Amino acid sequence: MPPDDPDASRRTLMGGLSAGLFAALATPAVAQSVAPPATAPVSDGPRLSDPRNAYPRPPFPAQQQDPPGLAGAMDPRPDHGEQSYRGSRKLVGRKALITGGDSGIGRAAAIAFAREGADVAFNYLPVEEPDAREVVRLIEDAGRKAIPLPGDIRDEAFCTKLVADAAQAMGGLDILVNNAAKQRSVDHLQDITTEQFDAVFKTNVYAMFWITKAALAHLPPGATIINTSSVNAYDPSPNIVDYAMTKGAIMIFTKAMAKQLAPQGIRVNAVAPGPIWTPLQPSGGQSPDKLPKFGADTPLGRPGQPAELAGIYVLLASPDSSFATGQVYGAVGGRGGP
């Protein structure tokens, strides 16, 4: 048959297509048996953990420290996420200022922020220098800039300087965490001195007001303010009346400022922890006879650890919570809270 016969060409083409189609339909099982596709291995990610037993449970050893206390002197030592927190680049290039960043919740936030990619300035009292040096090392080990800024935030002039020094050292400021607090257990109102009342309010409320006011000159749209309130704003303990009053004020300040700053694109939220194992407790925050059972009355049967709050602060600092403002996030172990 002549090679230019159109019917022959058509028959050849259709035959080839039919053979190819048949092969494609008929051979998958054979192909798989010869070269099975690679199966992604199951990663060794976080395992299920019973929250009741995830951390030490009471009773704890009897212990007392002079205020403000050191994390390094506690038994058991608090977990701030030193070994456990793993970052995922949620805060790359951000610039954070944290008060009370040497220990407790502030330290957990500082570690987490650094491992998420942020530079961190943090305030503490000079007597807390041993804890602060550890935090500097942990931030720098994460490859970020650490700016330790010791001083007493009960002084307005120092608060103003604190913000200016932090912003200058980091080249800006876009995360503010008002976390430092003073707490003193006193069973009867008539035994709360004016000196104590004044110190608690200046540390917990006045400093937050002064620092936030100074920070507003530096915070751009997209910045976040995170205040540490407490379960005591909602379910106050009778032995820390003055402390509970300040935590209620912090909650109200958070909600009011969220409304005021929303038109500027600045979000304001708060975290309300329950009983958390920090130096605040053995340094006068709890009476010595109650400390061994601290946190035992929560439904989970134990106090929380600072590391268990780190993810909440990261969430509120990151764009993942971009529609959240004026909110109070509770982490209370099952009782009280928002």
Q: Which residues are catalytic?
A: 243
Cis peptide before 68 (omega within 30 of 0): yes
Q: How far apart are CA 160 and CA 174, in angstroms?
A: 16
Whether 271 and 309 have beta carbons less than 8 Å apart is answered as: yes
Token pair 């330790």 is found at 148
CA-CA distance, 104 to 126, in Å (whole number)? 16
Instruction: Report the C-alpha gap between 147 and 125 in whole angstroms.
Output: 14
Strand duo 224-228 + 267-273: pairing: parallel
DSSP 136-156: HHHHHHTTS-EEEEE--TTSH
CA torsion through residues 321, 280, 141, 79, sign = negative
Q: How large is the angle between the packed helices 104-115 and 307-317, nearest 10 degrees?
A: 60
For residue 21, the surrounding DSSP H or E stretch is: helix 6-26
